[in-house]
A and B are shown apart, each in its own frame.
Chain A
Amino acid sequence: MIKVEGLTKKYAGVTAIDGLDFTVEKGEIVGFLGPNGAGKSTTMRILSCYLPATSGRASVAGFDVASQSREVRARVGYMPENVALYPEMRVQEYLEYRAALKGVRGRRNRQRVNAVKELCSLRDVERKLIGSLSKGYRQRVGLADALLHDPDLLILDEPTIGLDPNQIRQVRQLIKDLGKRHTILLSTHILSEVEMTCSRVLIINKGRIAASDTPEALAGRVRTAGGIRAEIRAGAEDLEKALSAVEGVRKADIEPIADGWHSCLLRTDADHDAREEVARLAAARGWALRELGRDQVNLERVFAEITQSEEI
């Protein structure tokens, strides 16, 4: 469905994306994950024909985004990061207008507008002026707009940004349902969102693809890579020495808490779970152990891990 080869985009000397290569097959829900400024939006804007690439090629459904742009646009439903709408139009009127622009006319126009209003829960606000809508509703109008022409490919740039937790859950469920009939490329910087909705994850960092994997594999990698946290009562030096010697531990950070307790953060190799080893060690030495678990995973660490190890 999407084929990207050596895609590069430079803005006034700054390279936003640098030789991207990836493909997305029909029916996949692919999560595009990366920190701010990694090039997610730029890539999506090129795929939706809003921006031209500096070099490289990209095609959607076999049509080139540069030379067959209208064919591509007719097949892509794109929801930009900042949903911009005409504030003076009513929701109903706007959706009818957008559908007509996308070639959905006559009876089908009415059908599609009704269908997307239902899908995105916009019935209550159909008579309202867009300018008076809350951010959450505007976001949903943007999503509804992307769905109007029943596109083969949906490109959603941070679709859940600015929504409250309830709405986020609704939109995630909606994306999952849509994934049954559409191919979806969605961007986010929320790791759990990708785990819940996507069948594959592309991690992009500094304009390059840093990893491409299933969410499960990625999460597994990240969990162990994240490290181990333990609270042990023992001498700091003993601890440091013994823990550093545990197999697979790359680095041990020991911080005193109180009453002789120490908080230990162990960085381990990606494929190694050292919790068992640590428990045995504590038992053997007669140390008191009151907490042992995986360290909280955060996205920054994932990027650090993945980009450091350069695994693809």
Chain B
Amino acid sequence: MNFFTLLNREIRAYFVSPVAWVVLFFFLLLTGFNFYAGVAALNRGPSEVTVVEAFFNTVFFWFGFVLVFPLITMRLFSEEYKMGTIEPLMTAPVRDSQVVLAKYFGALFFFIVLWLPSLLYFAIFTRVTRLEAAGAAGPFLGAYGMLLLIGMFYLAIGCLASALTRNQIVAAIISFTVITLFFFTGLLTFFLLNVTPALREMTAYFSALEHMSEASRGFFDSRPVVFYLSLTIFTLFLTFHVFQSRRWRN
């Protein structure tokens, strides 16, 4: 029960803060532009990609995607540390794990809300052009499923970073750096000389770009599912321990 009480507060806290609405606004602007760019590119002539695939595999998408996690998560723990509200919170009969999970799922909820309007883009596309946005259900499910999977892991990274410090900016920098490293691992092969097939395969296994590109074409691969779920759980586990360590740190 405590979990839902906490979750409820976390979600409300998002929607009463101006930061959330600013993020929401600019994120919509960016994804809207990204969608427009995708449609414009397809207009130039016959293409092998669908509009869904075009949408989820551009630089605009990458940037918006990577930037949004630090913004969503940086305040989660840092703000409570800084304002001192952690004291009343942790002297109430709640478990540390409930607090960590409530904050995590609150952030996940906001992340999902952030992406909901994009579904509208494809609905409008289909209505206006009388063409199918993806050609089949697979790419839709794949792209949004992968969005959720990658999002779950990156939000966990953000939680961990926020649990580490009372300074929101520091938390944002830590999570941005780690997320960027994970997200762009796949590009490593472009910079290295003598790329062996083995190395290429290994970076592909880690590469979010690769995962997204596969999923948005409707391919289902269980490896990224296991990869992201296990990393999410591991990172949340770390967050829990970092959060507990506050008692011993001073």
Contacts and interface: CB of A to CB of B under 8 A. Distances in A.
A49 B91 CA distance: 6
Interface residues of B, number: 24
A50 B93 contact: no
A98 to B, nearest CB: 7
Interface string B24-55: 00000000000000000000000000000000
Interface stretch (A83-91, A200-208, A299-307): A83-91
B230 interface: no
A70 B6 CA distance: 16
A70 B85 contact: no
A17 interface: no
Contacts of A142: 88
Nearest to A73: B93
B5 A100 contact: yes
A52 to B, nearest CB: 5
Interface in A116-148: 142, 145
B130 interface: no
A101 B87 contact: no
29 contacts: A11-B250, A45-B87, A48-B91, A49-B91, A50-B90, A51-B247, A52-B247, A73-B91, A78-B88, A78-B91, A80-B84, A80-B88, A80-B91, A82-B84, A83-B88, A84-B84, A84-B86, A84-B88, A86-B9, A86-B13, A97-B8, A97-B9, A98-B92, A100-B5, A101-B6, A102-B93, A103-B1, A103-B2, A145-B88
A272 interface: no
Given A50-B90, A52-B248, 12 more contacts: A45-B87, A49-B91, A50-B87, A73-B92, A78-B91, A84-B83, A84-B86, A86-B13, A88-B13, A98-B92, A101-B93, A142-B88
B95 interface: yes
Contact of A88 (B17, B93, B247): B17
Contact of B92 (A51, A83, A102, A105): A102
Given A97-B9, A101-B5, A102-B93, A84 B87 contact: yes
A97 B5 contact: yes
Contacts of A145: 88
A39 to B, nearest CB: 15
Contacts of B248: 52
B85 A101 contact: no
A71 B95 CA distance: 11
Contacts of A80: 84, 87-88, 91
A114 to B, nearest CB: 19
B11 to A, nearest CB: 12
A98 B92 CA distance: 8
A83 B94 CA distance: 19
Given A52-B248, A97-B5, A86 B85 contact: yes
